[in-house]
Amino acid sequence: MTSCDRARTSSSTHSTGCGPLGGEERMGETCSETIGSFPTTPVQRSYWLGRSPEQPLGGVGCHMYFEFVSRTAPDPARLSTAYQDLQKRHPMLRAVFPDERQGTISADPVDTLAVYDFSGRTVDSVESELETVRESFARRAPDPTRGPMTALALSLLPGGASRLHVDVDLMVADPPSIRIALDDLVELYEQAEPPPITYDFTRYRNEYGTLEGESASESSVRTRGLLEGLDLAPPQLPMACAPEELSGAEFGRRLLWLSPSRWGRIREKAESVNARPESVLYAAYVHTLARWSESQGFLVNVPVFDRPRVHADIDRVVGDFSRLLAAPVTVSDGSTLRELLEKVNRSERVLNAHRDSLSVQAINDEARRRREPAPVLGAVYTEMHRDLVSERFVRHFGHPQRTGTQTPQVWLDCLVYPSGESMCMAWDAAEDAFRDGVLDGMAECCQKLLTAFADSDWTSAPPESLPARQRARRRRVNATDGPLSGKLLHEAFFESVEADPEATAVVHAGRSLTRSELAEWSLRFAALLGDYGVDHEEPVGIRLEAGPCQIAAVLGVLAAGACYVPVGPDQPSNRLERILDTAGVRFVIGSAPIDRQGTHVGSVEYVPPAEADRFPARTRPLPVSDRSLAYIIFTSGSTGSPKGVEVEHRSAVNSLEDLNRRGDLRVTDRSLWVSALDFDLSVYEIFGPLMAGGSVVVPTADEQRDPEAWLRLMERHRVTVWDSVPALLDMVVSTAEVAAAEGRARSEAWEEGDPLPEGSESPLRWLRVVFTGGDWIPLELPPRLHRLARGCRFLACGGATEGAVYSNCFEVHRIEPDWMSVPYGYPLRNQRYRVVDGQERDCPDWVPGEMWIGGVGVARGYRRDPERTADRFREIGGVRWYRTGDRGRYRDDGALEFLGRLDDQIKLHGYRIELGEIESVLSSHPDVSRAVAVVGNEESAPGLVAFVQPVGDEIDLRGVREHARNWLADYARPSRLFVLLDLPLNANGKVDRPTLADWAAPMSDSVPDEPPRTETERCLAREWNALLDREVTARGQSFFDLGGDSVGITRLAAVIADRFGVRVSLRGIQTTPTLAGMAETIEEALRSRERRSA
């Protein structure tokens, strides 16, 4: 190699006072000697601003790279001369951009050919050297204020071969212009005289550049109509992090090909239905985006290359004639390939008919009208109707072996172009922006669809989109079939009575009930119900205070061949009556509500539990089928009417037997029952241990909600098994941490975070296995438990009442660094899971959708509610499925992740926001035990509010906010953050969200209408006035709500630096958008500067 340093002309001369050329005046042979300036296009402005490292997906140039492979080498001297002449011929190749609004043309060529001589190297070393050259081009991001904006290099290889490296910044030439320039390079290399060009881009912009904004403003009403009901957002693909956190991302290319024969067949078929063949490619691309996007309606960035017919030479001019259109996409699978294409065709026709109304500028204006931030449309689709390079160029300089594009604010750039008789679809993607495997899966799906369009009849259905490896993994994790025991829910307990009648079954209030005592009590209840004429499967209500009588009554109802309907003693009378009426209950074991006097309320008779004492016990339970109903538990309904979930014996038994197997429950195990009887976790808390021959510790009514009392019971009775929602487990762990303080103090070597030292008496030390589920599990909860109960197994579970308590399980051994929450895990035996989109198609890995539970555990339906049963339960291929309404996704290891409720998805400022994601991120901070996000109940300006529960006595709120900034998109970050030592819980131990939403408004830490208070706020308000041309009157006003956008914050950062003498990052502006918040950011920067200088 002669030199690895590029020999470049470093000067970039800018002229002043030189206007556009008049008429068709020529200077010399071409317009290359023209020195002038021109207004930039909107696209050039976005490229100029977007390459800033502080912009989302910034820190990169907007450029196209080619590497041409040839067995021979061009003459370096001739090529260098041709390159110089090319820059003289096309003024835009000498362009630089002093700021985002203006470009200027240098008088002389600004770049020279670089030659790398590797001809004397070994094959291995040559490849390494070439990779270094490629890397330098891949990272190329020239300063547009200085240039050069193009680069050309020649690598000379052993045996006379060569590589020609070409890189062009898209600010100076769009892809069609690049082809023009490369063709001219061939002419000049051959020392031919290409015909002169009597027009240039500088002149075009000066003559027509001032007309742009008019049509956009005129079409704003039309824009509004075209985008009615559509989010102004790109597809929501599975990203590894928020795009704004990425800068200088590495781009990789994936190539999808249609062979000449397949492309020919697509062309024939398209012509037969009056469609463009290229529309098939667009349909395949947007269909793939939709399959990997949680939102089925989105915008795709579509560059078009408009060369207005303003001059005879316009087709030979090099420049950036591109316009960016925002194509609305609402993709729903047609039942056939043709229907899918027709739907995409309709959207294409709308785009072509309303280009001005659907320009990116118009979209930004519409976002401003909606008081939303301007969207970053990171998914791009570009069509080229000719080869990127001509055959003539290939003959001289070789075939393009490597090509690639890179653009700021773009994370997936799809370029479609013909390559000979074939058709190529190139995907250039920011690799670090996506989760592992996502891009490969998407490319596989798209290629499969393209092949189907070529090879299949268009009346056939689109092919399965799920990648083959993912389909195989789903089959594997859902291959849970196993034998069914055929037993009834209560059967194992009564069998254990015969095995050891004197073994303890229940412990309560200091006394124990043996198995035989509990069995006799329950069989008296069975006899009582038989005397009352209770039929097989008849629902019997149980309304009792917490205690052993509840367990005896439940066993008695089941022994009578009936099903039990638990109702809480604190249920409001009206709701209680609705539940009993819906269930069809004639008899309730327990007393009537205080405001309903007597033993008969309507058609319902309340039977005091003491009545059972009058009856001799049955000898044995009545035999019934395992397909009989075991219980009906009522849950809240979205309409306000409770839903009665009917669960059969075999469903409940299947879940409980598998949980016992996983937890290895034994006759020596004891559980503490802490859930209410009308909450489905109580089914396992009672029957799980009894089925295994163990016993249940039952708190008294006074102990029911007292974690200190729980600890005393666990210590006294050596409780080994725990099952509850995470909030109740958190309560007992927190109380145990306090109780263990004396043991810690006895060991000087003990440090925070370590397990308790030997000899310390943790009240949880007997715990052997913990089941918890039904809600979010904080990441710090398993390690906290393990420090108090060494060797205790932590089984995270999930499911639904409609899925027989639990349907999935995941054993937590350690918290992995990439977890945002504890995984949901894998299906239990004879159960399975799907994650589906709105069209009931299986979602690919990492794509959120609705979780469906299938298999034996699925309930029969909703009591006397065929309409809701038909809506939520499905029979597909012999498998019964339940639509949970839970939002989740499959990870790439086959494990499920719970992401919250579908009805926890909100829309704020135009963005769809998942409250569960916010809670998961906040809870992953080491100082936070639990987090809950709500939308404040404020009539004028609802906003995101988060409540956090600290792990210890102190919490670093600034650190929590920084953690949120690192993990959440700016629109999903809570505007206010409050600390609560205890989160309010409802009767089932779940967080009381409505109460928190009510609390949020009076906790507001900012009065929106309060005028600016400090001198910094007043000064900043004046700068806002000037930038936004809007009067700023309140310190709670948001820069974005007043019309600020990404361009505005870039200018504002420069204004702040000039006016206040401190630098504030763009991210700092975005995350503190109110006048008060931004002023505080400035003042903090000023204080930091003072501290450094002190």
Q: 481 in a domain, yes or no?
A: no
Rounded to the nearest integer, the mean pLDDT of the chain is: 86
pLDDT at 1069: 73
pLDDT at 1070: 64
CB 823, CB 796: distance < 8 Å:
yes
The β-bridge partners of 513 are: 506
Higher pLDDT among residues 662 and 1043, named by residue: 662
Tokens of 533: 């004429």
CB 544, CB 689: distance < 8 Å:
no
Higher pLDDT among residues 1033 and 812, named by residue: 812
pLDDT at 493: 98
Mean pLDDT in residue range 323-333: 84
pLDDT at 218: 55
pLDDT-derived band at 13 (thresholds 50, 70, 90) equals very low
pLDDT at 843: 96
Of 917, 805, 903, nearest in space to 857 by CA: 805
Residues 200 and 220 in one domain: no
Question: Which of these three, 147, 180, 208, is where a domain ends?
Answer: 208
Whole-angstrom CA distances from 570 to 23, 573, 824, 983 are 90, 9, 32, 21
Number of folded domains in the chain?
5
pLDDT at 980: 84
Residues 620 and 691 in one domain: yes
Query: How many residues does this entry show for the chain?
Result: 1094
To the nearest whole percent, how much of the chain has pLDDT over 70?
A: 87
What's the pLDDT tens digit per position in 713-753?
A: 999 999 999 999 988 898 899 888 877 765 544 444 434 44
Residues 570 and 594 in one domain: yes
What's the pLDDT tens digit per position in 938-962?
A: 443 457 888 998 887 778 888 888 8
Residues 176 and 232 in one domain: no
Judged against a pLDDT cut of 70, whether residue 640 lies above it is answered with no
Judged against a pLDDT cut of 80, whether residue 667 lies above it is answered with yes
Of 752, 757, 850, 728, nearest in space to 800 by CA: 850
Residues 161 and 47 in one domain: yes
Cis omega (within 30 of 0) for bond into 148: yes
Residues 790 and 681 in one domain: yes
Q: 839 in a domain, yes or no?
A: no
pLDDT-derived band at 990 (thresholds 50, 70, 90) equals confident
Q: Which amino acid is at 148?
A: P
Residues 967 and 819 in one domain: no
Residues 301 and 348 in one domain: yes
Judged against a pLDDT cut of 50, whether residue 11 lies above it is answered with no
Question: Which of these three, 177, 208, 239, is where a domain ends?
Answer: 208
Beta strand 721-724 with 896-901: parallel, antiparallel or unpaired?
unpaired
Judged against a pLDDT cut of 60, whether residue 75 lies above it is answered with yes
**DSSP per-residue letters across 792-852:** -EEEEEE--GGGSS--EEEEESS--TT-SS---BEEPTTEEEEEE-TTSPBPPTT--EEEE
Judged against a pLDDT cut of 80, whether residue 971 lies above it is answered with no
Judged against a pLDDT cut of 80, whether residue 908 lies above it is answered with no
pLDDT at 417: 94
Q: 72 in a domain, yes or no?
A: yes
What's the pLDDT tens digit per position in 212-226?
A: 544 444 567 777 778
pLDDT at 375: 83
- CA dihedral for 858, 862, 866, 871, sign (positive or negative): negative
Tokens of 190: 């051959």
Distance CA 364, CA 370 (A): 10
CB 773, CB 724: distance < 8 Å:
no
pLDDT at 56: 74
Name the burial class of residue 1092, with classes exposed (0-12), middle (13-18) and buried (19+) by CB atoms within 10 angstroms of its CB: exposed
Domain that holds residue 683: 491-741+754-827
Judged against a pLDDT cut of 60, whether residue 82 lies above it is answered with yes
Name the burial class of residue 118, with classes exposed (0-12), middle (13-18) and buried (19+) by CB atoms within 10 angstroms of its CB: buried
What is the CATH number for 728?
3.40.50.12780
What is the CATH number for 996?
3.30.300.30
pLDDT at 685: 96
Q: 856 in a domain, yes or no?
A: no
Higher pLDDT among residues 1076 and 865, named by residue: 865
To the nearest whole percent, how much of the chain has pLDDT over 90?
A: 57
pLDDT at 311: 94
What's the pLDDT tens digit per position in 474-513?
A: 999 999 999 999 999 999 999 999 999 999 999 999 899 9
The β-bridge partners of 506 are: 513, 696
What pTM was estimated for this model as a whole? Answer: 0.80
Name the burial class of residue 293, with classes exposed (0-12), middle (13-18) and buried (19+) by CB atoms within 10 angstroms of its CB: buried
CB 668, CB 717: distance < 8 Å:
no
CB 198, CB 34: distance < 8 Å:
no
Beta strand 322-330 with 162-169: parallel, antiparallel or unpaired?
unpaired
Buried b (16+ CB within 10 A) or exposed e, 913-940: bbbbbbbbbbbbbebbbbbbbbbbeeee
What's the pLDDT tens digit per position in 116-150?
A: 999 999 888 899 999 999 989 988 889 999 999 99
Q: 1025 in a domain, yes or no?
A: yes
Residues 248 and 192 in one domain: no
pLDDT-derived band at 30 (thresholds 50, 70, 90) equals very low
Higher pLDDT among residues 210 and 356, named by residue: 356
Distance CA 803, CA 853 (A): 7
Instruction: Collect contacts of 19-28 with beta carbons under 8 A, ≥24 apart.
Output: 19/206, 20/202, 20/203, 20/206, 20/207, 21/200, 21/202, 21/203, 24/198, 24/199, 26/196, 26/198
pLDDT at 969: 58
Tokens of 723: 């099952």
Listed in sequence order, the residues at least 6 apart from 820 whose beta carbon sits closer than 8 Å to its beta carbon are 779, 917, 920, 921, 924, 967
Question: Which of these three, 806, 827, 848, is where a domain ends?
Answer: 827
What is the CATH number for 1061?
1.10.1200.10
What is the CATH number for 336?
3.30.559.30
The β-bridge partners of 823 are: none
Listed in sequence order, the residues at least 6 apart from 462 whose beta carbon sits closer than 8 Å to its beta carbon are 287, 333, 334, 336, 337, 340, 449, 452
Residues 976 and 1034 in one domain: no
Which residue in the block uniquely carries the two structure tokens 């996983």? 662
Q: 876 in a domain, yes or no?
A: no
Q: 787 in a domain, yes or no?
A: yes
> Angle 51-52-57 (CA atoms, 0-180°, nearest 5)?
65
Q: 482 in a domain, yes or no?
A: no
How many C-beta neighbours within 10 Å does residue 812 have?
A: 23
Residues 725 and 610 in one domain: yes
The β-bridge partners of 827 are: 808
pLDDT at 261: 97
* Dihedral Cα 187, 189, 193, 197, nearest 10 deg: 60
Helices 515-531, 548-559: crossing angle, 10 deg rounding:
60
What is the CATH number for 68?
3.30.559.10
pLDDT at 27: 29
Residues 194 and 230 in one domain: no
Higher pLDDT among residues 644 and 1063, named by residue: 644
Name the burial class of residue 710, with classes exposed (0-12), middle (13-18) and buried (19+) by CB atoms within 10 angstroms of its CB: buried
CB 1060, CB 1082: distance < 8 Å:
yes
